[in-house]
Structure 1
Amino acid sequence: MRYGALMAALLLGACAKPREEPMSSRGALKDAPAAVSSSGSERPQPRGAATVRTDQGTYSAPAVRFSADFLNDPPVPLMRVALSAQSEDGGSWRFRMAVDAKFLESKHATARIISQTALGPGLAVVDSQLAQGPAMTMDEGTLELTVTGNQARGEVRTKDGRVRATFEGPLTIECMVPPAWLSGANVQGAPPAPVPSSPDEGTIRVPDEALATRQCRSVADAFR
């Protein structure tokens, strides 16, 4: 009887142990995917805005703006790149830069920074303002801009070469055309847009938001 009882106890112990281990192992594997999924959802997402970093702080904006203003005669666009960013405490940092048609191919431009407001290709204005402080315009330096796809990045340097600011972010396209262009032969498959009335139509520009004109489509295609 003692021998029979001992064998029964050993058999019960041997059967019980394997049953516990597989259950514990399956439970650990079942929890593992949930842990990976949780950590994945907590990863920081890329920012969908332009960011400016300076020695005075960080500023942000929805995007870097590229604008093309087409004229009637000659049909050559006036093109600008601009960024107007703000800091959390209410400060601001801005630049405006004029570029020419070559920029659509090279996607790169360097401009000399000036303190005047009138801009031509190769010139830029950079100004900033601390929260509750006076506005300051940068007198001299260079602004370098590069666009890759629809992403813009660049930097502002002083005359002696020191980096004063860097910026990067998505590029948005704004295209303005004479009203007649939207209702003329250049429109392909798009209804004419409403236009403002004026005795001098040549001075009016209207936004071609649908890129109905081939001129605006060409500008937008350059940054895809």
Structure 2
Amino acid sequence: MRHGALMVALLLSACAKSKEERVTSREALTAERPQPRGAATVRTDEGTYSAPSVRFSVDFLEDPPVKMRLVVLSAQAEDGSTWRFRMSVGDGFVTSKHATARLIPLNALGPGLAVVDYQLAGEPAMMLDEGTLDLTVTGSHAKGEVRRTDGRVRATFEGPLTFECMVPPAWLSKANAQAAPAPVPASDEAGEVRVLDEALSTPQCRSIADAFR
């Protein structure tokens, strides 16, 4: 009887140890999972992508006086796949915090137009040629979706909204900026130079930033 009781105790001890090792192993696997690369997330049928933020960029031109406004998101999946959009918005976006754009398979954008492209790992890049992109901002949080022309959702995205503002160098000097960065070309076509108003020292940039706090 004593021998039988000893064998049962040993078997129970072995089972308990085996169970503990399985739990420990499972916890280790969970801890080793890669962390998201950013706070903004895109979800599609093909997978999930992440980015540091949704970026709202305003570019001031002096001659002629023009404002170019783009909302941009460039996200990446763990396997290297990418998903991106560029959306042109008008003046009303700053007050309404909402915009809807029609998707086009071109890089030249105007108000009410957007470009969405994606590339799965090891495959050629693809561009959506139809549908709509809808964007809503609450405070400094952006949320939106991409829909087909038949209304079906192709992708959803959400995350923090960050703001960057480019201005002519003279504007920073006028605003008494302590250290203006070196001017950079606006684009190959425009030729005009602007600098990043990182401190939001110009009233033009500061007023827009205040609207999204």
What TM-score does the superposition give when structure 2 sets the normalisation length? 0.77
User: Secondary structure in 2 aligned to 1:71?
Assistant: strand
Greater strand share, structure number: 2
CA deviation after TM superposition for structure 1 residue 202, in Å: 7.0
Choose which of 188, 191, 199 in structure 2 pairs with 1:210. 199
Give the share of equivalent positions with the same residue, in percent.
Answer: 72
Rg larger in 1 or in 2? 1
Choose which of 35, 42, 58 in structure 1 pairs with 2:48. 58
Cross-structure match for 2:91:
101
Give ranges in structure 2 of 5+ residues lacking alignment: 1-35
Choose which of 166, 178, 182 in structure 2 pairs with 1:195. 182
4+ runs of 1 displaced by more than 2 Å? 73-76, 194-198
Q: How many residues align?
A: 174
Residues 150-165 of structure 1 mapped to structure 2, 5 A cutoff = 150-165=140-155
CA deviation after TM superposition for structure 1 residue 219, in Å: 1.2
Give ranges in structure 1 of 5+ residues lacking alignment: 1-45
Separation in structure 2 between the aligned mates of residue 197 and residue 125 of structure 1, nearest angstrom: 25
Change (3 A) 1:91 1:78: same
Separation in structure 2 between the aligned mates of residue 156 and residue 211 of structure 1, nearest angstrom: 31
Cross-structure match for 1:84:
74
CA deviation after TM superposition for structure 1 residue 192, in Å: 4.8
Residues 20-59 of structure 1 mapped to structure 2, 5 A cutoff = 49-59=39-49
Separation in structure 1 between the aligned mates of residue 206 and residue 38 of structure 2, nearest angstrom: 24
Separation in structure 2 between the aligned mates of residue 86 and residue 111 of structure 1, nearest angstrom: 23
Change (3 A) 1:151 1:157: same
User: Secondary structure in 2 aligned to 1:117?
Assistant: coil
Cross-structure match for 2:33:
none
Greater helix share, structure number: 1
**Deviation digits for residues 165-218 of structure 1 (CA, Å, limit 9, x no counterpart):** 00000011110000110112xx16x325143399xx970011000001000101
What TM-score does the superposition give when structure 1 sets the normalisation length? 0.73
